[in-house]
Amino acid sequence: MSYSIEKLLADHFDLHDCEIKGLVGYANSNYLIKSRGERFVFKTYRYDEEELAIIGAENELLLFLQRKADKPDQFPMPVSSKQGEYLIDVTLDGVRVIGRMLSFLSGDFSGDHTMRQESAESLGTFLAEMDLLLKDFDHPLYKGRAWEWDIQHLGLIKKYVNDIPDQHQRSIVRYFIHQFEVEVAEHLPQLRKQVIHNDANEMNLLQHEQDITGIIDFGDATCSPLINELAVALTYACYDKEDPLHWLVTISKSYHRKIQLKPLEVDLLYYLIAARLCLSVCNSAHARKVDPDNTYATVSEDNAWSMLHKWLETGPTKVSRLLRESLGLQLPVLSEISEKLAHRNQHLSETLSVSYSTPIWMERAAFQYMYDSYGNAILDAYNNIPHVGHCHPHVVERASAQMARLNTNTRYLYDQLTAYAEQLLAKFPKPLNKVFFVNSGSAATDLALRLVRKHTGSDSIMVLEHGYHGNTQLGIDVSDYKFSHARGQGQQPYIHKTALPDTYRGKYGGEDAGMKYATDAVAEIRSATEKIVAFIAEPIVGCGGQVPLAEGYLKPVYAAIRAQGGLCISDEVQTGFGRVGDQFWGFEQQGVVPDLVILGKPMGNGHPIGAVVTTDEVAASFEQGVEFFSSFGGNPVSCVIGQAVLDVIENEGLQHHARTVGDYYQQQLRELSKTHPCIGDVRGSGLFIGIDIVKPGTTGTDRALASHIKNFLRSNHILISTDGPDDSVLKTKPPMCFNRANVDQVVDHIDQAIKVFSAK
Ligand code: PMP
C-alpha cells in the first residue's frame, strides 16, 4: 500500500497529530516532525540496495556513538519503528522508499553564527573528540567504499570537470587534481585511516553560543585518512573568510591538542583542502547541469571558487610552514640564500646572472603565481614564457602522457609533428606555410639567418638599435643590445644598424613619425654600398624598453628590402601567440606579412621549443643546401606541448583576455602617471607593457627610481623587471591569465614604491 506521510508516522512510529515540515536535503527528502513536544527528523531515500546498505552502516555508526559518547545528544540517535526496525521499506506517496527516524538535535547551525576565536577552537576540539570515538568503529562497507565525496578518491571527480562552464576555472580544478596526484597520492597509504564524518560543514554543525554542540548528517561517513576530517572542516570553516589562514591555524591547533597531527598530515593539508574544494565545485557544476533548478547543491559554490583563488595566491609551502610552526612541529631547515648562491657559483659560471641582490629561491608555480622555498607566494607580472600560466594542467597532462608514449625525432613519421605544424600554420597568413622546429628563440634566429643567406646569397642585414634576437654567434651579430654593449663584440661589417623608431624618446614623434623613420631607413637601404638583403625586428622592441615600432614603419621598410630581392624577418619570440591582444602576431599591428617569423618563449609554455615559419619559396632555396636536422626540434613531446598551448589560448580566450586586461592595466598606469609625473610613458599592447620612468617634466631616464620600484615590488612579492638602454623602463608581460585584481595589486605597489622613494 502507498502511505501518506501522516499515516506512515502513525502506523510505523505511533506518532499522531504531528506537525510536519519538509526540510531541504542534498539528495533525499527529510521531514521535521513534532509530536507531543518531541521532535524527530524523518528521512526518506529512494529504495536502492546499495543505499540500503550504506544507510544501514550509518545507523550502526550512530548507534555506536550513542553507546560510546559521554554526551550522546551531540549526534543524531536512530529511533526504531513500532516493529523494532531502524530502517523501513515502504511506499510513500506512490514511491518505494527507505525511511528512517532520527532524534532531532537542537541548536543553531554554526553557519548562522559569525565565527569567533572560541567557536573555532570549540570546532577543533569537537571534531577531535568525535574522531577519538570513531577510531574504534569499524564497518566493512566503509572500508570498501570508493565514492566521489571522499578526498582520497579525488580522481573519481574527473568525469565532472567538464561540467564547469568556465574554461579557466576548469583549468584551476585540473591543476589541483593534478597536484593531488603528484604530491598526495603516493603518501595516502602511509596516512592513518579510520571512519570519519567527512562533512563537518557549517550546515551540519550545531552551535550554542560559542560552543559546537553537535553534528548531523553522517551520510558521507567513510573510512579515509583521518586528516581528511580536518581538511573538510577547515575547507568550510575558512572558505568564506577574509583571512582563511587565521582560522585554519586556530581550528587545527585545538584539534591537535586532542589528536596530535603528524608532519606529513600537516604538509598535505593544503592539497587536501584544495581537493575538497574541487570536489565541491565539480559536484555543484554537475548537479547544475543535471538539474539547473537544484539550488541546494550549489549553495557553497561561490565560496569554494573564491577559496580556490585564495589558495593559488597562498601556495602550499606557506600553509605547511605556518601550521608546523603553530603546532610546534619541526620546520624543515632551509639554507640561506647566500649559501645557495655560493653553491651555484661553485658549479656554474657567474655570467649567468641572477635577478635581485637577494635572489629568489623558487620552489613551484601555478598560473600567475610563483612560490619560493620560504613559502612566499609571488605574483608574476613579468614572465611571458609560461604564457598560458605556470604549470598549466592541460600542458602538463598532455606533455607527460606523450612522454610516456613516444618521444623521438623527425627522421620517423609520427602524427604529432604534422598535426602541430598544421595547427600552428593555420595561425599565419597564407604565404607563410612552412615551419622548421628548433629548441629556442636563438636557434630560430640562427636558422632564419641561414635561410636568408641561402635564399639571397648574401648576409647583409639591417637591424634595429637596441634589438635582441638570440645567444648564438649569428644571434649576437644581429643584436645591437649585445654587440654594442660596453663589453660586447662590436658591430660586424655585414650588419647595418638603423634607428629604433621610437615616438617617445626618439628623433621623431607625432602621427607621421613612422613614415619619417621609415624614410630614413629606406634611404639607408638604398644607399648602402653592399646590398642589404634582409631586415629583422621585433614589432615591440623588448630590450629597447618595450618600444612599439612607430605606426606605419614596417610597410615602407619591407617594401624597400623586397625591392632589392631581400627578405623580412619578424621576431615574435616575445610578442607572439596573442599576447599583444588585438592581434595574434605582433607584425599584424603594422599590416605587413614577413617572409620569416621567429618563434620561441611562449610557444611551449616553458618547454624549450622555437620555430621559423616561412614561405614555400624560402624553404625551397634552403633545400638546395645541406640537410637540416635538429635532434629535438619537432619531437612528438614538443609538438603535443605546442598544440596544448594553442588549445589553451583558444579555449580560455586568452588573446581577448590579454586585450581587456592589458587595456585596463595601461589605463590604470596612465591614471597613476597623473599623480606621479615620473611615469613618463606607458606603452605596449595587450599584456606586453613598458612603463618609462623619467625625471619629471623631461624624457631623461631615472634608472635609480626604476630600480627602486622593481626592488620594492620584489620585497612585496611581485615580479616585474627593468630594461631599455638605461635600464629605466619597467617591463611587465605576465602570464596571460593575469587578471584585473592582479593589475590593481601591481599598480597599487608601484604607487607605494614611488611614494616611498619620494619620501626619502
Ligand atoms: N628574440 C627575442 C626578441 C628574445 O627576447 C629572445 C630571448 N630573450 C630571443 C630571441 C632568444 O630566445 P632564447 O632565449 O629562447 O634563445
Distance, in Å, from the CA atom of 752 to the CA atom of 133, rounded to the nearest integer, reads 53
**What is the number of other CB atoms lying within 10 angstroms of the CB of residue 158?**
14
pLDDT surpassing 90 at residue 451: yes
Is there a contact between 222 and 150 (Cβ–Cβ < 8 Å)?
Answer: yes
Distance 601 CA to ligand 1 centre (A): 7
Question: Which atom of ligand 1 sits closest to the CA of residue 445?
Answer: 10
Q: What is the CA(398)–ligand 1 centre distance, in A?
A: 25
The predicted pLDDT at position 143 comes to: 87
Distance 441 CA to ligand 1 centre (A): 5
CA–centroid distance, 588 to ligand 1, in Å, is 20
Q: Which residue from 594, 586, 473 is spatially nearest to 534, judged by alpha carbons?
A: 594
**Interval between CA 376 and ligand 1 midpoint (Å):** 29
Euclidean distance between CA atoms 516 and 72, whole angstroms: 88
Cell numbers at 160, concatenated: 565532472
CA 4 to chain centre: 52
3-state secondary structure 692-707: EEECCCCCCECHHHHH
What is the CA(469)–ligand 1 centre distance, in A?
5
Is 442 close to ligand 1, i.e. is its CB under 6 Å away? yes
Atom 16, ligand 1: residue with shortest CA distance:
442
pLDDT > 70 fraction of the chain, expressed in percent and rounded: 99
Reply yes or no on whether the pLDDT at 637 is more than 80. Answer: yes
The pLDDT value given to residue 293: 82
Pairwise CA distance, residues 576 & 232, whole Å = 43
What is the bridge-based pairing of β-strands 29-35 and 19-23?
antiparallel
Query: Grid coordinates in use for 127?
Result: 571534531
Ligand 1 near 99 CB (within 6 A): no
Atom of ligand 1 nearest to the CA of 442: 16
DSSP letter, residue 110: G
- pLDDT band for 26, please (50, 70, 90 cuts): low
Does 440 sit in the ligand 1 pocket, CB within 6 Å? Answer: yes
Q: Which atom of ligand 1 is nearest to the CA of 575?
A: 3
574, 577, 598: which to mutate for ligand 1, most atoms within 8 A of CB? Answer: 574
For the Cβ of 169 lying below 6 angstroms from any atom of ligand 1, the answer is: no
- What average pLDDT does range 609-617 have in this prediction? 98
Helix (H, G, I), strand (E, B) or coil at 217: coil
- Tracing cell 531541504 back to the chain, one arrives at 24
DSSP E strand stretches across 289-408: 362-366, 369-372, 377-380
Is the pLDDT reported for residue 575 higher than 70?
Answer: yes
Amino acid found at 18: C
Tell me the average pLDDT of the chain: 96
* Contact present, 549 and 585 (Cβ < 8 Å): no
Cα of 677 vs centre of ligand 1, distance in Å, is 32
**Under 8 Å between Cβ of 107 and 206:** yes
Atom of ligand 1 nearest to the CA of 472: 16
* Residue 231 near residue 224, CB atoms below 8 Å: no
The answer to whether 90 and 82 are in contact (CB under 8 A) is no
586 within ligand 1 shell (Cβ under 6 A): no
Which amino acid residue places its CA nearest to atom 13 of ligand 1?
441
502-559 confidence digits (pLDDT tens): 999 999 999 999 999 999 999 999 999 999 999 999 999 999 999 999 999 999 999 9
Is residue 416 within 6 Å of ligand 1 at its C-beta? no
441 lines ligand 1 (CB under 6 A): yes
574 lines ligand 1 (CB under 6 A): yes
Answer whether 600 contacts ligand 1 (Cβ < 6 A). yes
- Phi, psi angle pair for 426, to nearest 5°: -60, -15
Please give the helix or strand (H or E) that residue 563 lies within, else none.
helix 554-563
- Report how far ligand 1's centroid is from the alpha carbon of 181 (Å): 34
Radius of gyration, CA atoms only, the chain? 32
Report the C-alpha gap between 496 and 525 in whole angstroms. 9
- Asked if residue 97 lies in contact with residue 182, where contact means CB atoms within 8 angstroms, the answer is no
Cell numbers at 248, concatenated: 585554519
Quick check: CB of 576 below 6 Å from ligand 1? no
What are the CA-CA distances from residue 694 to residues 253, 481, 720 (Å)? 51, 21, 17
Query: Cβ(109)–Cβ(235) under 8 Å?
Result: no
Q: How far is the CA of 423 from the centre of ligand 1 (A)?
A: 23
Question: What DSSP character marks residue 394?
Answer: H
Using the mean position of ligand 1's atoms as its centre, give its distance from the Cα of residue 637 in Å: 21
Q: Is 608 in the pocket of ligand 1 (CB under 6 A)?
A: no
State whether the beta carbon of 469 lies less than 6 angstroms from ligand 1.
yes
Q: Is the CB of 723 under 6 A from ligand 1?
A: no
Per residue in 196-240, pLDDT (tens digit) is: 999 999 999 999 999 999 999 999 999 999 999 999 999 999 999
Confidence at 2, pLDDT banded by 50, 70, 90: confident
For the CA of 600, the closest atom of ligand 1 is 15
Once rounded to an integer, what is the mean pLDDT over residues 346-366?
Answer: 94
Coil vs helix vs strand at 193: strand
pTM of the model as a whole? 0.95
Tell me the C-alpha distance between 109 and 122, whole Å.
Answer: 14
pLDDT single digits (tens) 376-391: 999 999 999 999 999 9
d(C-alpha 444, C-alpha 472), whole Å: 10
Q: Which residues pair with residue 96 across a beta bridge?
A: 91
The DSSP secondary-structure symbol of 491 reads: -
Ligand 1 near 570 CB (within 6 A): no
d(CA 452, CA 12): 91
Name which of 724, 280, 319, 756 is nearest 541 in CA terms. 724
**Residue with CA closest to ligand 1 atom 2:** 469
Q: Of all protein residues, whose CA lies closest to atom 12 belonging to ligand 1?
A: 441
Whether 471 lines ligand 1, by a CB cut-off of 6 Å, is yes
Mean pLDDT, residues 41-45 taken together: 93
Q: Distance from CA of residue 254 to its chain's centroid?
A: 32
pLDDT class of 294 with cuts at 50, 70, 90:
confident
Q: Is the dihedral of CA 293, 294, 295, 301 positive or negative?
A: negative
3-class secondary structure for 253-305? Answer: HHHHHHCCCCHHHHHHHHHHHHHHHHHHHHHHHHHHHHCCCCCHHHCCHHHHH
Segment 82-87 shows an average pLDDT of 95
- Name the amino acid, one letter, at 122: S
Pocket-testing residue among 601, 609, 638, ligand 1, by greatest number of atoms within 8 A of Cβ = 601
Tell which atom from ligand 1 comes closest to the C-alpha of 601.
15
- Residue of 583, 686, 417 whose CA lies nearest to 425: 417
Residue 722 confidence (pLDDT) above 80: yes
Q: Residue 298 — pLDDT band, cuts 50, 70, 90?
A: low
For residue 740, name the pLDDT band (cuts at 50, 70, 90). Answer: very high
Per the listing, cell 602511509 goes with 190
745 CB near ligand 1 (under 6 Å): no
Between the CA of 443 and the centroid of ligand 1 the distance, in Å, is 9
| Ligand 1 atom closest to 608 (CA) | 15
CB of 546 closer than 6 angstroms to any ligand 1 atom: no
How many angstroms does the Cα of residue 633 sit away from the middle of ligand 1? Answer: 16
Helix (H, G, I), strand (E, B) or coil at 445: helix
pLDDT band of residue 296 (cuts 50, 70, 90) is low
The pLDDT value recorded for residue 300 is 83
The predicted structure's pLDDT at residue 292: 85
In this structure, are residues 283 and 289 in contact, taking their beta carbons and an 8 Å threshold? no
Query: CB–CB of 6/18 below 8 Å?
Result: yes
Closest Cα to atom 1 of ligand 1: 469
Mean pLDDT of 665-691: 98
Q: How far is the CA of 710 from the centre of ligand 1 (A)?
A: 22
Q: Is the pLDDT of residue 36 over 90?
A: no
Give the containing element (helix H, strand E) for 126: helix 117-134
Residue type, 289: K
- For 492-534, give the DSSP string: -TTEEEE----TTTSS--STTHHHHHHHHHHHHHHH-SSPP-E
Ligand 1: atom nearest CA of 470 is 11
The alpha carbon of 572 and the centre of ligand 1 are apart by a number of angstroms equal to 9
User: From ligand 1's centre to the CA of 279, what distance in Å?
Assistant: 41
Distances, alpha carbon 143 to alpha carbons 59, 196, 224, 541, in Å? 16, 11, 8, 62
Please indicate whether residue 110, judged by its CB atom, sits closer than 6 Å to ligand 1. Answer: no
Task: Give 25's pLDDT tier (boundaries 50, 70, 90).
Answer: low
What is the pLDDT at residue 22? 86
